[in-house]
Amino acid sequence: MKTREIAELVGGDLSGDPKVEIVRVADIATAGDGDVAFYEKMDEGFSSNASCLLVPQDSSASNGTLIKVENPKLAFARVAAFLHPQKHRLTEIHPTAVISDSAKIGQDVFIGAFVCVGDSSVIGDGCQMRAGAKVGDNVTLGKNCLLHPNVFVEDGCTLGSSVILHTGVVIGADGFGYVRGENEYVKFPQIGTVVIEDNVEIGSNTCVDRGALGETRIGEGTKIDNLVQIAHNVQIGKRVVIAAQTGISGSTVIEDDCVIGGQVGMGDHARVQSGAVIGSQAGVLPGKIVRRGVWWGTPVQPLDEYKRQNAHMKSLSRLKDEVRRLASLIERIKKDRKS
């Protein structure tokens, strides 16, 4: 890919040699010959060895081959998608795969070793199911889904197109619901389903439980990290980002365009409104409504309140000293008045 083609791809403004051959993306610190790198802040006056740099519009850099763009990191990601496309696996159904006669397998599908596809399931065109991935019965995968090794999708769940499930993801296992009987817990029915919309990506060993009665849903373009727990009947909107090890309890709703940090815990039946940002390790109480804005702490509170409270706590020692000082002043006043 020539630098000129890169500039066209990202709609950028090229200065320098338009014919440099670029073969890979690289970190600006280690980039060298044939590499394209980026920086985000105009004052990072890097003397990088990259053959081409994606830089912000207001960058004052002038030496080397530069492409000025509005969002260099985004441009870099788009170039990377071209230079390093997802691994292409040739169309194949591995002889060890166990595929139900009633399953429908689309065109240009890769099915690896030890894959299982259950009864009446549909695998869309261009899907890749890597070694050991399994789908149960009546599962539907849209087009171009990528199931990494050992993924499991339980009976009756539905995936849209271009969904990526990383290794060990479990979709559609029973939710965690019991009713206390006299001397035992009786399982509450977990007979709903999971719907995952287009362009969702879910990290390794994350679990998305099926709805108890209705459905658990993950909206279009949402990205979920590793080891996340999504309980039954949770509704996650579009373009939500959820970092690793966060847990979301039953029936909680996260609206579009929220950003949730890592190790956040949410109680059941909470609602996170569109545009809310929740910091790592925060705790959202059951039923709580979290409005647009930045939130932090347990129980969750607006970031500036959290910071203020934290500052207060840090100054508790001084406050105590001050109270002690006042007490002794008052003692003195009282004594003086008596004398």
Closest residue by Cα to residue 301 from 317, 314, 313, 285: 285
The residues in 10-29 that bind its own copies, with binding defined as CB under 8 A, are 25-27
Structure tokens at 292: 């647009």
- Residues 128, 142 contacting (CB under 8 angstroms): no
Structure tokens at 242: 């959820």
Candidates 34, 114, 122, 269; binder of its own copies (CB under 8 A) is 114
- What gap in Å lies between CA 112 and CA 132, rounded to an integer? 7
Candidates 47, 63, 183, 339; binder of its own copies (CB under 8 A) is 183
**Secondary structure class of 161 (helix, strand, coil):** coil
* Cβ atoms < 10 Å from Cβ of 221: 18
Asked if 88 interacts with its own copies (CB under 8 A), we say no
Stretch that binds its own copies, among 45-53, 119-127, 287-295, 304-312 (CB under 8 A): 304-312
Q: How far is CA 268 from CA 249, 265, 279, in A?
A: 5, 10, 18
Stretch that binds its own copies, among 47-55, 61-69, 120-128, 260-268 (CB under 8 A): 260-268
Nearest-approach distance from CB 109 to its own copies, in angstroms: 18
**Secondary structure class of 78 (helix, strand, coil):** helix
Q: Which is nearer to its own copies, 154 or 255 (CB)?
A: 154
Asked if 87 interacts with its own copies (CB under 8 A), we say yes
Q: Which is nearer to its own copies, 18 or 265 (CB)?
A: 265
Residue with tokens 């199931």: 147
Q: How many residues bind its own copies (CB under 8 A)?
A: 102
DSSP characters over 66-77: EEEES-HHHHHH
Q: How many residues does the chain have?
A: 339
Nearest-approach distance from CB 180 to its own copies, in angstroms: 8
Structure tokens at 2: 């020539």
Stretch that binds its own copies, among 52-60, 121-129, 269-277, 311-319 (CB under 8 A): 311-319
- What gap in Å lies between CA 240 and CA 250, rounded to an integer? 17
Asked if 116 interacts with its own copies (CB under 8 A), we say yes
Asked if 189 interacts with its own copies (CB under 8 A), we say yes
Stretch that binds its own copies, among 3-11, 13-21, 49-57, 170-178 (CB under 8 A): 170-178
Nearest-approach distance from CB 2 to its own copies, in angstroms: 19
- Residues 249, 286 contacting (CB under 8 angstroms): yes
Asked if 120 interacts with its own copies (CB under 8 A), we say no
Q: Which is nearer to its own copies, 143 or 238 (CB)?
A: 238
The single-letter code of the amino acid at 128 is Q
Asked if 319 interacts with its own copies (CB under 8 A), we say yes
Q: DSSP letter for 337, please.
A: H
- Per DSSP, the chain holds a count of helices (H) and strands (E) of 4, 39
Nearest-approach distance from CB 92 to its own copies, in angstroms: 12
The residues in 190-249 that bind its own copies, with binding defined as CB under 8 A, are 191, 199, 201, 203-205, 207, 209, 213-214, 221, 223, 225-227, 229, 231, 239, 241, 243-245, 247, 249
| Active-site annotation, residues | 232
Asked if 57 interacts with its own copies (CB under 8 A), we say no
Structure tokens at 252: 């909680």
The contact pattern for its own copies, residues 262-281, with x = CB under 8 A and - = no contact, is xx-x-x------------xx
